[in-house]
Amino acid sequence: MGMNYTPKQIVNQLDNYIIGQTSAKKSVAVALRNRYRRTLLDEKLKDEIVPKNILMIGPTGVGKTEIARRLARLVGAPFVKVEATKFTEVGYVGRDVESMVRDLVEMSLRMVKEEKMNEVMDKAKESAEKKLVKLLVPQVKKQSTMSNPFEMLFSGQGSNSTNDDDGEKDEEIRNKRSRVAHQLAMGELEDRIVTIEIEEIPPSMFDLLQGSGIEQMGMNMQDALGQFMPKKKKKRKLPVSEARKILIQQEAQKLVDMEEVSQEAINRAEQSGIIFIDEIDKVAGKHDNSPNVSREGVQRDILPIVEGSTVVTKHGPVKTDHMLFIAAGAFHMAKPSDLIPELQGRFPIRVELEKLTVEDFVRILSEPSNALLKQYQALLKTEGINVVFTDKAVNRLAEIAYQVNQETDNIGARRLHTILEKLLEDLSFEAPDVSLETVEITPEYVDQKLSTIVKNKDLSQFIL
């Protein structure tokens, strides 16, 4: 876990993927560093210090979600993103707010299990190779020469020759397996077909409960019934190359202690889990007397989770006291003050993210490690075409993206996807059939391809 990053190092890492938004980056960097500082305290004081949750305010497409996601990936922390609008007040059909904690534990479980399986991978590969050798050279079943039980009483004579035959067969099989093991190591038998047994996972009758308020009850019932129902196995014929992958997974699964994985997953979710609650502004609003499901009720259900409570999951009880919650919303129609006061108090750090400028668009197109221009260049490089964007062309693309955002709905950096798809649409279509080596994208090329977007203000067909 890379939790001992300094705040400056965290911001520098985030700068590789997200342009601007320095204040938001600083806030999450400090929150993460405080987690590390807390681990150095004595137990008595450690329990008293809780994370300072963050409320991000800004329009869509400015980097709210990406900051939280990259932060979690940076430190290897369990992370889930949920939409506040997906939840309903307790008593109504729909997902209850506790499901976000269950989702976080499942994510944590997958992460820990993958780490543990990687630790035993060498042993698993060794065991899988041995199994493959046995499948390719199976043990010959010994056939009894006794015609009836009474012969056992008089079988003293002649037994030595039988044992000698068995010994010779065993020696022959060992020699064959030794040769096959060598051939496997050399990769000579990758296309040989073998028959392996795979556990069959039947479709769950409780899948219908997913997304409902009783999903947890369905999972618990399925676990209880699963202990009494035998696991079905089916045989599959596969080439050695495919069978090896399955056998390695099976062997690694046997070597991993799932009880230990569950405990560590719960601990990691409790101590370093990050829950990102998007669209929080959509459940904010003034009090009304409408018969619709109460949005304030959802806020009140979220409150104890954020404040610190115990949620029962199928892996065990999970405390939310030290989880970091990051809420985000555009707050176009509502204000942060429209949230219930108790929930406002649980998000003491407020960060306003800035709208993107032309300069920001230029940097987004070219600077990040996963910059959009680099992605499109790499895709077309597979067709043998080297796409070169001039600096003026990049500036022109940024200007058009900014202009379209100003004249229609502002969707932030996501507008660049729309612009670039339109710009390179013809080139991507013709790429497999043309023999071009280099294509230079100039401002004139940009204006020619995007003329319909720039001239026509009714851009409904180009808007995401």
Q: Are the C-beta atoms of 96 and 88 separated by less than 8 Å?
A: yes
Chain Cα centroid distance, residue 371: 21
Q: How many whole angstroms separate alpha carbon 63 and alpha carbon 354?
A: 10
Question: For residue 313, with 0-12 CB atoms within 10 Å meaning exposed, 13-18 middle and 19 or more buried, which class applies?
Answer: buried
211 is in an annotated binding site: no
82 is in an annotated binding site: no
Residue 321, SS3? coil
Q: How many whole angstroms separate alpha carbon 342 and alpha carbon 315?
A: 30
218 is in an annotated binding site: no
Q: Tokens for 44, please give them.
A: 């008595």
278 is in an annotated binding site: yes
101 is in an annotated binding site: no
Q: Tokens for 309, please give them.
A: 């409570």
Residue 166, SS3? helix
The residues, ordered by sequence, that sit 6+ positions from 109 with a Cβ below 8 Å of its Cβ are 261, 262, 265, 315
320 is in an annotated binding site: no
Q: How many whole angstroms separate alpha carbon 172 and alpha carbon 69?
A: 58
Proportion of the chain in helix, strand, coil states, percent, rounded to 5: 55, 10, 30
Q: How many whole angstroms separate alpha carbon 452 and alpha carbon 464?
A: 16
Q: How many whole angstroms separate alpha carbon 109 and alpha carbon 256?
A: 12
65 is in an annotated binding site: yes
63 is in an annotated binding site: yes
270 is in an annotated binding site: no
66 is in an annotated binding site: yes
- Candidates 6, 18, 1, 7; CA nearest to 70 is 18
Residue 120, SS3? coil
Q: Are the C-beta atoms of 284 and 324 separated by less than 8 Å?
A: no
* Binding-site residue positions: 19, 61-66, 278, 342, 414
Residue numbers in the known binding site for ATP are 19, 61-66, 278, 342, 414
